[in-house]
């Protein structure tokens, strides 16, 4: 009788271990698939931003040509934009892309400040069309950055949450990088006086 109880106890223990092992394996598979899904979303969102950045970079020569016809002596701004465009097109990391994108936005402000000095340029239909296209692309880039950062946040939260972090660490997952602005003015809340 004691031998029978011992066998039943061993069988119960083995069955419990098997169930716990299957639950852990199932959780690992589900969590792995969540990581795959989230990383795919992160890559797709970054790809969307890259497409918009490429479109904007391809618009730059047309914009410089339109402004250059009116303000040829402002070549310093044009050279800066052209050089930065070349660097931006070679950027590979998210940090590099964010930095170049931010620098280009600052130079666009300078370019449009130059354009303000030339009423004929502001009235030029081609320039206005380029300016509108650039504004639409900038809005798209901003929306793309927000979408990308949402996906990165979801991935990083899963990676830091217990027990998913055990699976993530086992798989060698690392946190994704946010597409962040280093521009202090952009990061600060607007001051409102009542």
Mean per-residue pLDDT pooled into runs of 10, the chain (194 residues): 82 93 92 91 92 88 74 67 82 85 79 73 75 87 92 92 88 87 52 45
pTM here is 0.72
Collapsing DSSP states into helix, strand and coil, what is residue 194? coil
Neighbours of 32 (CB within 10 A): 16
Closest CA to 173 of 162, 185, 163, 165: 165
Backbone CA torsion sign across 111, 112, 117, 122: positive
Task: Say what the pLDDT of residue 185 is.
Answer: 46
For residues 175, 104, 44, 143, the Cα torsion angle rounded to the nearest 10 degrees is 100
CA dist., res. 17 & res. 133, Å (int): 63
Task: Say what the pLDDT of residue 125 is.
Answer: 77
Task: Say what the pLDDT of residue 27 is.
Answer: 92
Task: Say what the pLDDT of residue 184 is.
Answer: 45
Task: Say what the pLDDT of residue 1 is.
Answer: 58
Please state which CATH class domain 21-181 belongs to: mainly alpha
Task: Say what the pLDDT of residue 71 is.
Answer: 60
Q: For the chain, how many helices (H) and strands (E)?
A: 7, 0
For the chain, the domains span 21-181
């Amino acid at each position: 009788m004691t031998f029978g109880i011992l066998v039943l106890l061993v069988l119960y223990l083995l069955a419990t271990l098997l169930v716990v092992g299957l639950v852990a394996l199932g959780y690992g598979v589900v969590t792995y698939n969540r990581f795959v899904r989230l990383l795919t979303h992160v890559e797709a969102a970054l790809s969307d931003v890259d497409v918009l950045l490429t479109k904007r970079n391809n618009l730059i020569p047309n914009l410089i040509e339109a402004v250059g016809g009116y303000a040829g002596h402002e070549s310093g701004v044009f050279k800066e934009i052209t050089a930065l465009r070349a660097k931006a097109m070679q950027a590979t990391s998210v940090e590099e892309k964010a930095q170049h994108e931010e620098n280009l936005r600052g130079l666009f402000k300078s370019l449009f400040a130059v354009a303000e000095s030339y009423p004929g340029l502001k009235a030029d239909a081609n320039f206005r069309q380029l300016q509108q296209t650039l504004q639409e692309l900038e809005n798209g880039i901003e929306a793309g950055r927000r979408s990308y950062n949402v996906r990165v946040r979801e991935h990083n939260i899963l990676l830091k949450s217990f027990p998913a972090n055990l699976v993530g660490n086992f798989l060698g997952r690392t946190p994704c990088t946010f597409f962040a602005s280093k521009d202090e003015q952009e990061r600060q809340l607007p001051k409102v006086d009542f």
